[in-house]
Structure 1
Amino acid sequence: MPKPIDFFFAIGSPYVYLGLDPIAELASRHDVLLEARPALLIPENGGIFSRDRPEPRRQYWLKEIARWAELRGKTLVMSDRGHLSDPTPASMMIVAAALQGLDWLTLTDALQSAFWSEERADIGKPEVRGALADKAGFDGAALLALESSDEVMARWEENLAMSKRLGVFGMPTFAYDGELYWGQDNLDFLERHLNSAPLGVQ
């Protein structure tokens, strides 16, 4: 049985949304467990929020996202987002779902689809993510009630500590068998590792 893949992701990252289907398909194809590791960027490790990037780099980033969205067949609305609150609390709902043994990937997709689609859903608000969870077939009220539980907060802190310890600096990052693969564009290298051994490691 292959070792699990630790999937570090920030709920508000468009690249996480673009890579969600491919990593789910890869894990299913190789019959490997995908561990939910919602977290935040770690500045000490070199994490840079998009708002803090120099403007030329930010403009290129926007073009690259558009290219990947077209390739992945996803809709991304990058404008008119300033009114949205911090989506991080939605991570706690995903942690709660994972700890309950629920299909957290489907929940993550439902939350991110709404957040990045034409709806621009404000998933930082509990009533919004609760309704989205209900619509996706979950018990939104039950998950909301678990978000601030000791178990969920302990896992959240564990994810942050683990990402810092491993050197995670960008989202998404996939940790497998002692190696990190940053970005949904590096899934080919992760799959090669699953098939044999990591490339470029002496």
Structure 2
Amino acid sequence: MTQVIEYFFSISSPWAYLGAERLVTLARRHNLRIRPLLMTTIDEHGWIPLKNKPPVRQRYVRSEIGRWSRHLGVPMQTDNRPSDLKDPTPAAMMVVAAETTGAEGMPLALALQRAYWESAADIGATQIRREIADANGYDGQRLLSCEQAQAVGERWNENRARAIECGVFGSPTYLFEGELYWGQDRLDFLERHIVTGAPV
């Protein structure tokens, strides 16, 4: 039976994007399945969005994102992003819609994140989401029509409930064999766990 990495993340998280391709490569290397569980912040566990942190912390985090972007060779447009970008949550709902209709969610999530972080695309906009989905082999219009479906809302709530149950408090978080690894900089620890069969 194929083992599973449960992947808890926010579609707009820069840290999730910085680790996304490496997670996919890691899973492929070890013949594991990724179960994407998209969500937003979990206030109950102290998850504080960057915009709600003090200005000094915001400046430092943005600097760190730039460092990691350069270190990993992952292009990101972090400066001079448009101020009128819409809430990207609907993009997460599109990925959940793909999952509920039997499609793979991870490739779509990656495409949306790449557009959001590399090009500052407004993935909260309906037309932009549809174009990205279509360009990546999905039926964009069908997914748009499913975003508000009951099954999608139920899956969204289940993702959040699962995250709370597991003690998730940030994005990205990887759960493997009952062990949580928070942050893209913990992917080496996750892989060591996979290889050795024991938590680091």
Task: Report the TM-score range of the alignment, normalised by the length of the smaller protein.
Answer: over 0.9
Alignment partner, residue 136 of structure 2: 136
Q: Distance in 1 between the 2:101 and 2:30 partners?
A: 24
What are the Cα deviations for residues 97-122 of structure 1, in whole angstroms up to 9, with x where unaligned? 1233323222112111111123x211
Q: Distance in 1 between the 2:35 and 2:131 partners?
A: 25
Q: Distance in 2 between the 1:4 and 1:99 partners?
A: 18
Describe the SS at the equivalent of 2:92: helix
Q: Distance in 2 between the 1:133 and 1:52 partners?
A: 31
What are the Cα deviations for residues 114-163 of structure 1, in whole angstroms up to 9, with x where unaligned? 11123x21111112101111112211001111111111111100001111
What are the Cα deviations for residues 45-88 of structure 1, in whole angstroms up to 9, with x where unaligned? 01010011122221111111011111222221123332111101
Alignment partner, residue 48 of structure 1: 48
Q: CA deviation at 1:2?
A: 4.9
Q: Distance in 1 between the 2:37 and 2:82 partners?
A: 25
Look up the equivalent residue of 2:13 and give its one-letter code. Answer: S
Within a 5 Å distance, the mapping from 1:53-72 to structure 2 comes to 53-72=53-72
Describe the SS at the equivalent of 2:130: helix
Task: Judge which range, 102-111 or 125-134, deviates more.
Answer: 102-111
Q: Which runs of 5+ in 1 are unaligned?
A: none
Q: Distance in 2 between the 1:159 and 1:75 partners?
A: 29
Alignment partner, residue 192 of structure 2: 192
Describe the SS at the equivalent of 1:143: helix
Alignment partner, residue 108 of structure 1: 109
Alignment partner, residue 6 of structure 1: 6
Matched positions, count: 198
Alignment partner, residue 16 of structure 1: 16
Moved over 4 A (4+): none
**Identity across the alignment (%):** 43
Q: Distance in 1 between the 2:171 and 2:145 partners?
A: 27
Alignment partner, residue 168 of structure 2: 168
Look up the equivalent residue of 1:16 and give its one-letter code. Answer: A
Q: Distance in 2 between the 1:46 and 1:77 partners?
A: 27
Look up the equivalent residue of 2:89 and give its one-letter code. Answer: T
Give the structure-2-normalised TM-score.
0.94
Q: Distance in 2 between the 1:39 and 1:114 partners?
A: 19
Look up the equivalent residue of 2:71 and give its one-letter code. Answer: L
Q: CA RMSD in A?
A: 1.3
Give the structure-1-normalised TM-score.
0.93
Q: Which runs of 5+ in 2 are unaligned?
A: none
Q: CA deviation at 1:194?
A: 0.9
Alignment partner, residue 81 of structure 2: 80
